[in-house]
Amino acid sequence: MDENLAIIEKGAVAVKEKQILEVGKADEILKRYTSGNIMEGKGRVVMPGLINTHTHAAMVYFRGIADDLPLTEWLNNHIWPAENKWLSPEFISDAIELACLEMLKGGITTYNDMYFFEDAAGEAAKRIGMRAVLGSGILDFPSVSAKTTDEYLDNAERFVHNWKGDELITPCIAPHALYTCGTETLKKSKAMAGKLDVPLHIHLAETRWEVEEIKLRYKMRPVEYLADLGFLDETVLAAHCIWLEDNEIELLAKHKVGVSHCMESNLKLASGFAPVATMLAAGVKVTFGTDGAASNNDLNILSEMSTTAKVHKALSNNPTVLDAKTIVLMATRWGAEVLGLGRKVGSLEKGKIADVISINLAKPHLTPIYNIYSHIVYAAMASDVDFVMVNGKIVINNGRLLTADETEILFKAQQWCEKIRNS
């Protein structure tokens, strides 16, 4: 997934500590390097780890708790009450272990989160060995994590100071949305992100209701309003971006805002169809997010890739839209770039950090092979991923997690489920 989208037949990746030393033909690599740990790649595709650019990872513990509802009812009547009752550092820590297990086993090596008690999330993700951009959520109303806007902002600033410079965890400022954060909160969030030199993560134009609400409040559409505030630039990752007009797409492109497209969550909540083909044509970098497992209901980027490619072909009545190469690019290098990690990860290139996965192609549904990009997008499943390396460390081998006890993670999840169900 380099600039040339090179495919190397019978290739190899040489890794020392956390860095990629070289990528090339296997026979040439083996002449130059020796190693006590050579991982067999026959019958596999080796590629950069997938990147999930928008999720609420700890919501895996609310998977299936309230389905088949509109977004506002789902949030107001079910999710926010459940969060206020159950969220705690212990809940987050245990839930993040399950989320990381699910994502790693599906080939995701980096995720971009927006949630609460993110110190606990950071510790759990590091313990498992996963790369994460973690956004400390900011709201203008009280929750279990803060009572006032100033307290949310103080929590966010403290979180950034705690984690800035960590090799796996990148802290982020995450004002929830335009309808939950007022003008001053958005301005303060932007100023803080600039001062601390960290990314911004926000929901944007997710529902028709949101657009009408922002127009009513500010006499502008959502993207126009953020542009007027000076909020938009290349440090911003905007999730969803469904209800956009052409001038808003032009503003996103002009300000180099990254977009996270959450196809399956949007479908399930009937939020609408983001104009992905139009955004791409305008030069907006669109990437993939799963959203939280309470609205998806899984954390599976391979599934998002396949669904997105097919749905947007149908919507545009054009089978050439969102071709397989573009889809894989959106899931890897572009995902890294919109999170500010493009110099580190997102492609297999000399000097980059070794976030590497392999997909076992010796499966009936992956045989025969004519085009590897098509196979990855239209045929591969999360269960086909058999090897995952993050930061040069092997975390999944032969489909099993090496950094923690899978059985214990699942057992803790079931215990939390019983508590929540019985309440």
In the chain, % of residues over pLDDT 70: 100
Residues 6 or more apart whose Cβ sits within 8 Å of residue 419? 86
Q: Which domain holds residue 17?
A: 1-423
Tens digit of each residue's pLDDT (9 = 90 or more) over 363-372: 999 999 999 9
Q: What pLDDT does residue 31 have?
A: 96
What band does 341 get if pLDDT is binned at 50, 70 and 90? very high
- Helices 222-229 and 208-218: crossing angle in degrees, nearest 10, is 50
Tens digit of each residue's pLDDT (9 = 90 or more) over 9-51: 999 999 999 999 999 999 999 999 999 999 989 999 999 999 9
Q: Which two tokens stand for residue 33?
A: 């390097």
Q: What pLDDT does residue 71 have?
A: 80
Average pLDDT over residues 221-241: 98
Tens digit of each residue's pLDDT (9 = 90 or more) over 271-295: 999 999 999 999 999 999 999 999 9
Whether the bond between 368 and the residue before it is cis, its omega within 30 degrees of 0, is yes
Tens digit of each residue's pLDDT (9 = 90 or more) over 185-227: 999 999 999 999 999 999 999 999 999 999 999 999 999 999 9
CA distance 294 to 74: 10
Judge whether residue 172 has pLDDT over 90.
yes
End-to-end C-alpha distance for the chain, whole angstroms: 48
Tens digit of each residue's pLDDT (9 = 90 or more) over 375-423: 999 999 999 999 999 999 999 999 999 999 999 999 999 999 999 999 8
- Helices 89-105 and 118-128: crossing angle in degrees, nearest 10, is 40
CATH code of 11's domain: 3.20.20.140
Counting the structural domains of the chain, the total is 1
Q: What pLDDT does residue 75 have?
A: 86
Q: What pLDDT does residue 326 have?
A: 98
pTM: 0.97
Judge whether residue 72 has pLDDT over 90.
no
Q: What pLDDT does residue 70 have?
A: 83
Q: Are 381 and 106 in contact (CB under 8 A)?
A: no
Q: What pLDDT does residue 401 have?
A: 98
Judge whether residue 235 has pLDDT over 90.
yes
Q: Which two tokens stand for residue 404?
A: 């923690």
Q: What are phi and psi of 234, to 5 degrees?
A: -70, -10
Tens digit of each residue's pLDDT (9 = 90 or more) over 74-110: 888 999 899 999 999 999 999 999 999 999 999 999 9
| Average per-residue pLDDT for the chain | 97
CA distance 18 to 391: 5
